[in-house]
Homo-oligomer: A and B are copies of this chain.
Amino acid sequence: MAERVRNVQVLLKNHVNGVPTESDFTIVTSSIQLQIPDDCRGGVLLKNLYLSCDPYMRIRMYGKQEPESYFEPFTPGSPIMGLGVSRVVLSSHPDFKKGDLVWGSTGWEEYTLSKSPETLYRILDTDVPLSYYTGILGMPGATAYFGFHDICSPKRGETVFISAASGAVGQLVGQFAKLLGCYVVGSAGTQEKVDLLKNKFSFDDAFNYKEEHDLNAALKRYFPDGIDIYFENVGGKMLDAVLLNMKRGGRISACGMISQYNRFEELEGVKNLFLFVSKEIRLEGFLVTTYFPQLQKFTDAVLPLIKEGKLAYVEDFSDGLETAPAALIGLFSGRNVGKQVVIVARE
């Protein structure tokens, strides 16, 4: 008879329009048998260690609706699904064995029975903090890496603007751009984050967008000759202001538009789109999963940079599954400083 253990879970109570609150989630405690049922052959049982709070998860909290069309809605009454770092407790899959560390798709609970281990990636290098595989060495890192290098066609000396720049993706894009010899400015929502950008992440400059009543004027101050590359994490008003400041032939890489995620019922209109024509701007959106077949290339590039101390990285830890709802919804008010991680278990 398999051992039975406690399994605290974070469930989505209901689909959510507007701003999510903690009352949209429930924490329940049940138990789980440490076994892989017969109808789950090929599956693995995971013990979750770190969970990743990512802006795209907000989109899955809506019921099915346009304009989302790619992100499957969460199922109310079921655990939130996301990315995390886990240890394999039991495996019936040839690619994984008990004790392996993995990152990838998992549930917001202590133990997850993964029926699709092809969404898990083995962690081979443990000389870095394991939590890094929710960020700099995981999905957000790959987003920054491919979204900047593949989509922005960056060149030494070009000017780069990054919104939500102290977040998991932004802080890395800025550092990749600096390593390439670009001039880099970021925006963030507090003085503390602005200081981080300038002092920790080596941005050339940074500003607090909440203190600028005129984003266009702010961008003109930092980019008197215009912006070659915009790494778009925000959308809405920021995109409108950026368009006014793009250089001819500029490129915009869009991995997300967090300013819109709580207002899908009433999206903000962006007005200055004619500038795409008159300035010959290219905008390309992408989903990082498209690049997952090339993850090795990313890991091979970034791991050495971390070990040589050439990339700084800031995480914001929230301790315990019961803190996870607040951590997730905190992304949308900018509560987090750096990559938001939930600690489920310490080993």
- Contact: A67 with B268, CB < 8 Å? no
Annotate A272-316 by CB proximity to B: 1 below 8 A, 0 otherwise: 111111111111111100100000000000000000000000000
A70-B279, A278-B287 known; A257 and B273 CB under 8 Å?
Answer: yes
C-alpha gap A334/B274 in the complex (Å): 20
Rounded to whole Å, the gap between the CB of A129 and the closest CB of chain B is 29
Rounded to whole Å, the gap between the CB of A144 and the closest CB of chain B is 15
Rounded to whole Å, the gap between the CB of A227 and the closest CB of chain B is 13
- Contact: A277 with B290, CB < 8 Å? no
Rounded to whole Å, the gap between the CB of A218 and the closest CB of chain B is 15
Rounded to whole Å, the gap between the CB of A224 and the closest CB of chain B is 15
- Contact: B283 with A282, CB < 8 Å? yes
A to B CB contacts below 8 Å, 25 in the list:
A59-B278, A67-B243, A67-B244, A67-B272, A67-B274, A67-B275, A68-B278, A239-B273, A254-B277, A257-B273, A257-B277, A260-B274, A267-B272, A267-B274, A269-B271, A270-B271, A270-B273, A275-B285, A277-B285, A278-B285, A278-B287, A280-B285, A281-B285, A282-B284, A282-B285
Assuming A67-B278, A283-B284, what are 19 further A-B pairs, CB within 8 angstroms? A66-B244, A66-B272, A67-B243, A69-B278, A70-B248, A254-B276, A254-B277, A255-B277, A257-B277, A267-B272, A275-B285, A276-B285, A277-B285, A278-B285, A280-B286, A281-B285, A282-B282, A282-B283, A282-B284
